[in-house]
Structure 1
Amino acid sequence: MLAEIKHYLSYPLFTFNERVITLLEVLMVPLWLIISIWLSRVFIGKLATRLKNKNKDPNIVHLIERVLYVIALAIIFITTLSMLNVPITAFAFLSGAIAIGFGFGAQNIINNFISGWILMGEKPIRIGDFLEVEGVKGTVEEINTRSTRIRRVDGVHMLIPNSKLLENTVINWTLRDKLVRGTVRVGVAYGSDSEKVASIMLATTSQQPEVLDTPKAAVFFQDFGDNALIFEVYFWINSQVEGGLRLVSSNIRFALNKAFEEQGIVVAFPQRDIHIDGTLALKHENQPKG
């Protein structure tokens, strides 16, 4: 039985480069490709998992994964050519022609590919950063060689070409740290005690657990408005998403509304005083005769 299998596997199929190619060699190539690619994925995946468990920077782990995967593919390709006894120089002319055609036809792909490696190496944008791109806000989930995946604040995923992230203006809210400044603006009625209003706003804001002690919150008397005295409180929080800032601002407004009601401070609303020069003559209608 084994002799018959060996005989069939040794059966010559064709001659390439003055060398007889057998059935075994033909079957070995796809088998080698499948096993080598699978082993590469398993090895790289386990290495990445181990690095993540050691709390390594996910951006560095992602970059290592990409570099090792490219190296593995190059080794597999060269080894496959060696198994087929095909010299690499045989591809010199063909690869040059393909490179020229590919360069003209795939400029955007190459641009995004190079931009992806720049993003992973230079790290102006990292996994987990909160970005604002062309009016859209979201969190970076993955940086690939062609595009970057961002999860918007409404849960929708976006794929943005890497070249756009380098060529256009991008606001990275968490590039250096997670500090985000928020503001709450309030207008109170004329005649209110301005110092008391400022004290209530500062105390109410500082009592929020998310508001940081450093930098400290600050209250500013911004302006004498048409209908109100305008006050504004500035505060800082640690946040990676826009929802965190909105939630804290909302909680501050709830607390201010309650505190103002307890202290008898009126939140202003639009109103107009009408002054009439001269006297008004009221015309009385004749009463019907009974």
Structure 2
Amino acid sequence: MKFLDTTIITFSETQVLTLGQLLLGIVLLILAWFGSVLLSRLLANRILTKTRLKQDNVAIIQKILFFAFLIFITMMVLTYLNIPLAAFAFVSGAVAIGVGFGARNIIENFLSGWILMSERPIRIGDVVDMDGNLGSIIGIGHRSTMIRRNDGANIVVPNSQILESKLINWTLVDPNIRTSVRVGVAYGTDLTLVKQLLVEATQSINEIIEDPKPLIVFEDFGDSALVFDVFYWVSMLCGKEMRQIRSDLRFAINQAFNDHGVVISFPQRDVHLHMVNDSASLDNNNKDMELK
């Protein structure tokens, strides 16, 4: 095993880096990486179980602990191998060249990840809408953010795109949102009864919030219907999609209207036919047609 004593770098007369030391250092750094991951997860889980911190706060603490452990263990390894930090000056130059020739996006996403964790425009568990993709945040990593869509698909979005795009966070400040359902009834319907039935329909849906109360608006005199809008508030954290809640409300409204004889209007048109009974006019029309 004499080849392990081969000198690779000479720092001074008393400090040299041999092949064996280099291989040992690489192995120790790999172990340091996995050890840091394990220790940070164990401590983060202990913090999560013993405190009332939210999951996104614990995730930030875990990342800080990971880098702290990694730096500490790395310094210990370098000290153990008797390698001065100045020996890695050339590595810094190589990294700088790599950043200039292709690692810019990686560094940008890495820094964006720390900005997301410090400013916290999004948090784990938030319901967001990005480019029409509605889902919840399930993880914020060093390079990318994981969004789980309502259909079960997982979307991996680079952190820089999260900061640069127009992302809607439905639960950043308040998880409650307002939505509406529109319905039209036939002319001549008792409007007081319609309003009462609409209120009762909203009360039958458990996901609709009682405060603020649902609002019934007589929106317009339509061409074929008296148009009503039902505005109501729902929590995005209720566990059910908004379109499913709207569907449940429409079912309830339809059932209530059927039970009380209220007709849901539909487009209608009156067609008037004018018959010509004058025989002279018919004869003149026939002559015109013959001449043509």
Output the TM-score relative to the length of structure 1: 0.84
2:125 aligns with one of 105, 123, 128: 128
1:46 aligns with one of 42, 49, 54: 42
1:225 aligns with one of 222, 226, 242: 222
Q: Does 1:235 align with 2:270?
A: no
Aligned in 2, Cα 1:279/1:267: closer, same or farther, shift over 3 Å? farther
Aligned in 2, Cα 1:56/1:217: closer, same or farther, shift over 3 Å? same
**Equivalent residue, structure 2, for 1:140:** 137
Deviations 1:116-141 (A, max 9, x none): 11111111001011111111111110
- Could you tell me which runs of 5 or more consecutive residues in structure 2 were left unpaired when the two chains were aligned: 279-292
SS in 1 for 2:243: helix
**Equivalent residue, structure 2, for 1:162:** 159
Aligned in 2, Cα 1:124/1:12: closer, same or farther, shift over 3 Å? closer
Output the TM-score relative to the length of structure 2: 0.84
Q: Does 1:266 align with 2:251?
A: no
CA distance in 2, matches of 1:127, 1:52: 14
Q: Give 1:97 shift.
A: 4.5
Aligned in 2, Cα 1:163/1:32: closer, same or farther, shift over 3 Å? closer
Deviations 1:27-77 (A, max 9, x none): 754564455444323321111112222331111111111111112222232
1:112 aligns with one of 97, 109, 114: 109
SS in 2 for 1:195: helix
Aligned in 2, Cα 1:104/1:31: closer, same or farther, shift over 3 Å? closer
Letter in 1 for 2:120: K
Letter in 2 for 1:159: V
Deviations 1:173-204 (A, max 9, x none): 11112102221110111111122111110121
SS in 2 for 1:110: helix
2:147 aligns with one of 142, 145, 150: 150
Aligned in 2, Cα 1:280/1:243: closer, same or farther, shift over 3 Å? farther
**Equivalent residue, structure 1, for 2:55:** 58
Q: Is the 8 A contact 1:153 1:242 kept in 2?
A: no
Deviations 1:204-246 (A, max 9, x none): 1123222111111010011111211110111112223784322
**Equivalent residue, structure 2, for 1:187:** 184
CA distance in 1, matches of 2:192, 2:71: 71
SS in 2 for 1:250: helix
Q: Does 1:247 align with 2:244?
A: yes
Identity %: 42
Deviations 1:3-47 (A, max 9, x none): xxxxx8x99723453457789856754564455444323321111
Segment of structure 1 superposing worse, 66-75 or 157-166: 66-75
CA distance in 2, matches of 1:248, 1:264: 24
- Could you tell me which runs of 5 or more consecutive residues in structure 1 were left unpaired when the two chains were aligned: 1-7, 282-290
- What CA RMSD, in Å, does the superposition of the two structures yield over aligned residues? 2.8
Q: Give 1:145 shift.
A: 1.1
Question: Aligned pairs, how many?
Answer: 275
CA distance in 1, matches of 2:238, 2:149: 10
CA distance in 2, matches of 1:20, 1:166: 46
2:171 aligns with one of 170, 174, 179: 174
2:198 aligns with one of 171, 180, 201: 201
Aligned in 2, Cα 1:250/1:275: closer, same or farther, shift over 3 Å? same
SS in 1 for 2:47: helix
CA distance in 1, matches of 2:232, 2:89: 63
